[in-house]
Structure 1
């Protein structure tokens, strides 16, 4: 099984560029209302971006609550410090600065993407003693 989360966004290009800068990933679909993001060399995508209100999909109607309410997009990254540096270089909205999560023994940095979704960068579990 592979998890392939889809988030509804207001602007595909803006969101695609934001995630590409943060993760150094590539877009592989390229439509104006939908995108799939993949790491170079991988054979499957890890995140889908979809415009609100197109194709008649349920739950992609206008949002009545803030997008991402109750959702955390959690990404384990091998090169945590580099990912945080990229986030800072792109002036990402950092909600919680890098810190140690003592329960998971790893580093975390919490961000908001351009649509308000919470994105968590995490080093591998057990990375910190």
Structure 2
């Protein structure tokens, strides 16, 4: 089984640009209403504009964006990702730190639609 979260965003193109710049994802679809974001030819995130297309179940929940969802990404280059995040419009919620329970570097931030995002990378133990 694979997971490919779909999140509702107000501006698909703006959100796509944000995730591409910050996380190094690439567009796999493009458009104003729907986007597929890829990493190494694998679908990792979908973006969808509200109230377009015929997906009535998607709109019945009437929940605010980001409510209860944390998008968690593991990366290979934490330092470069930090630079990308700081150069973006992201709102940092928790500064870069080492989570001692998970033994990993983490930064927590929000995108322009209010989704909470965590980027992490395992701490490399020195020999």
Displacement of 1:32 in angstroms is 2.0
Q: Deviations over 1:92-127 (max 9, x none)?
A: 211110011111000110010110000101113xx2
Match of 1:49 in 2: 47
Superposition map of 1:1-129 within 5 A: 1-39=1-39, 42-61=40-59, 64-124=62-122, 127=123
Asked if structure 2 preserves the Cα contact closer than 8 Å seen for 1:53 and 1:62, the reply is no
Task: Kindly state the Cα deviation for residue 58 of structure 1 after the two structures are TM-superposed.
Answer: 3.8
Q: Distance in 2 between matches of 1:63 and 1:16?
A: 24
1:60 match: secondary structure: helix
Paired positions, count: 125
> TM-score scaled to structure 2, two decimals?
0.89
Shift of 1:62: 7.7
TM-score by length of 1: 0.88
Say if 1:114 and 1:102 are closer, same or farther in 2 by CA, change over 3 A: same
1:2-27 deviation per Cα after TM superposition (whole angstroms, max 9, x unaligned): 11010000001110011011012211
